[in-house]
Amino acid sequence: MEASPIKLFSGTATKYLAEKIADSYGTTLGRSAIQRFADGEFQATYEETVRGTHAFIIQSTFQPSDNLLELLMMIDAAKRASAYKVIAVMPYFGFARQDRKDRPRVSIGAKLVADLLTTAGISRVITMDLHADQIQGFFNLPVDHLYASSVFVPYLRSQNIENLTIAAPDMGGSKRAGAYSQYLGTPMAIGYKHRAKANVVDTLKIIGEVKDRNVVIVDDMVDTAGTITKAAQVIMDMGAASVRVMATHPILSGPAYERLMDAPITEFITTDTVPLAHPECEKIKVLSVADLFANTIKSVYNQRSISSNFIF
């Protein structure tokens, strides 16, 4: 039986990355469009047939929420156009910080997004560095969870950093930092923070020896950069030789860029899962995940293991 053809499509927010993924895969993006009405309403449409295809739709769901709605509508349009399978490729999975009820009377946004994607008609999700690993369990379908360590670790090794220490900015990131520390054979430090409210860090302490060390803080995402820059300052005050930050998703909203520039951070290493508002920022080093996603899409389409894409 002949295999169903594959086609890659992109939402408007992630076209810059989707084009690189398609190029790495060895194809071009399929033709799609978003028709916009005067009142802001929009409609997704495909300008070529998707009947019987594996349709991979690439879209990160960072803010505004239109990016999520656009992805949902593209999924719906593909299903109604008789696509054989629809796979959501979400380099950045938005609303992932809402993975549980951490206080009374709040929504679990990540579960709602999972339900919306499933109802829209996806067969599978491919994403990277979820804020909480348990979000995979919100889906009753396959989730391929990739890790930016596949691009971060080779870059770190190429820099030949001596006296390296891996740090977690908070207790929630200790598992991720521990994996890096164990793989690279380096000491580890952990930040303990208390938030006065969302996006506002009240106090932060560092547990571990950082004096005279070159510290790399690893995290899944940086939003306002409050925690990261405060941790960097505390670490430098404790006598560290240098501080770098390595974070997968550069949300960088509000005062984030100013904080990064003012903080004692040598380098901010990130990926292109989210577009940068100020790519000219001299401290920022962007590593592309296009090859990683292209290889994963190829493996999924050909029903092969994706384990070779993981370092740890």
Q: Which are the catalytic amino acids?
A: 193
Measured between alpha carbons, how far is 294 from 46 in angstroms, rounded to an integer?
Answer: 22
Q: Nearest to residue 248, comparing CAs of 269, 230, 224?
A: 269
Within its chain, how far is the Cα of 177 from the centroid?
A: 16
How large is the C-alpha radius of gyration of the chain? 20
For residue 304, give the DSSP letter: -
Measured between alpha carbons, how far is 95 from 147 in angstroms, rounded to an integer?
Answer: 18
Measured between alpha carbons, how far is 292 from 54 in angstroms, rounded to an integer?
Answer: 19
List % helix, strand, coil for the chain (3-state, nearest 5): 35, 25, 40
Q: Nearest to residue 57, comparing CAs of 11, 119, 117, 99?
A: 11
Residue with tokens 């709605």: 69
